């Protein structure tokens, strides 16, 4: 929650007029708790997991449009019931694991000092933070993924993620509950190392999951 009672008080504290973006942020967040703002991630993740894969679903269902020639596995067909089952399984994990994890992980966000205050970060600052987050997650995720492919890790945990041999967008977050928890570590490390603004954190959650969906969907295409 912002410690200002009005735009004028915020401007006086900053020693300048608020930018258009800062005014929007003030009007939206001034009376909202930091916990409420953090929990926006639940909505973002739900929308990403539910809406973003839909174009790939339509492509998979419209098999006569010529898109099969761009697939690595053109002979593998997934029916609508199969894709819907995948989505239902993802949503079950979302409501049982991902959502509750977001609700209870707020103290860690306060601990690393993700801020909601003014001024807002510049575009350049947001870019640099996201760059660090992507590099850190990519590096740590690679090694965790390799560990999950060892005999015990694959048989007990990671095999669930490979149940869809020809993955679709809905299958990107399809995984064992333990893998969901484990892979949350790489996503958190970047913001823990270089904490920024809540808006940057929102963008990281969105961009990171979009990258995950793109990576999985890329298994379809001959690029």
Per-residue pLDDT of the chain (223 residues), as tens digits, is 788 888 999 999 999 999 999 999 999 999 899 999 999 999 999 999 999 888 878 877 776 566 667 777 777 778 888 889 999 999 999 999 999 999 999 999 999 999 999 999 999 999 999 999 999 999 999 999 899 999 999 999 999 988 887 667 788 888 999 999 998 899 999 999 999 999 999 999 998 878 777 665 554 444 3
Helix (H, G, I), strand (E, B) or coil at 77: coil
Domain assignments of the chain as residue spans, ordered by start = 1-32, 38-217
Q: Output the six-digit token pair for 182.
A: 């484990």
Residue 167, C-beta contacts closer than 8 angstroms, at least 6 positions apart:
216, 217, 219, 220
Instruction: Give the Cα separation of 47 and 74 in Å (integer).
Output: 28
pTM reported for the whole predicted model: 0.88
Q: For residues 202 and 44, is the Cβ–Cβ distance under 8 A? A: yes
62 vs 122: CA distance, rounded Å: 43
């Amino acid at each position: 929650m912002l410690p200002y009672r009005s735009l004028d008080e915020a401007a006086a504290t900053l020693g300048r007029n608020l930018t258009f973006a800062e005014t929007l942020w003030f009007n939206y967040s001034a009376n909202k708790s930091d916990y409420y703002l953090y929990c926006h991630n639940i909505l973002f993740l739900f929308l990403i997991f539910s809406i973003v894969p839909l174009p790939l679903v339509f492509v998979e269902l419209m098999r006569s449009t010529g898109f099969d020639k761009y697939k690595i596995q053109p002979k593998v067909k997934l029916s609508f019931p199969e894709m819907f089952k995948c989505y239902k399984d993802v949503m079950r994990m979302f409501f049982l694991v991902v959502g509750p994890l977001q609700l209870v992980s707020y103290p860690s966000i306060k601990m690393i000092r993700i801020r909601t205050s003014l001024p807002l970060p510049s575009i350049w600052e947001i870019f640099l933070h996201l760059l660090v987050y992507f590099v850190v997650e990519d590096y740590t995720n690679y090694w965790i993924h390799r560990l999950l492919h060892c005999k015990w890790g694959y048989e007990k945990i990671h095999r669930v993620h490979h149940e869809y041999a020809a993955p679709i967008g809905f299958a990107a977050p399809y995984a064992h509950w333990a893998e969901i928890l484990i892979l949350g570590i790489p996503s958190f490390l970047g913001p823990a190392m270089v904490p920024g603004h809540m808006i940057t954190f929102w963008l990281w959650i969105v961009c990171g999951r979009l990258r995950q969906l793109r990576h999985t969907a890329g298994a379809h295409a001959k690029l």
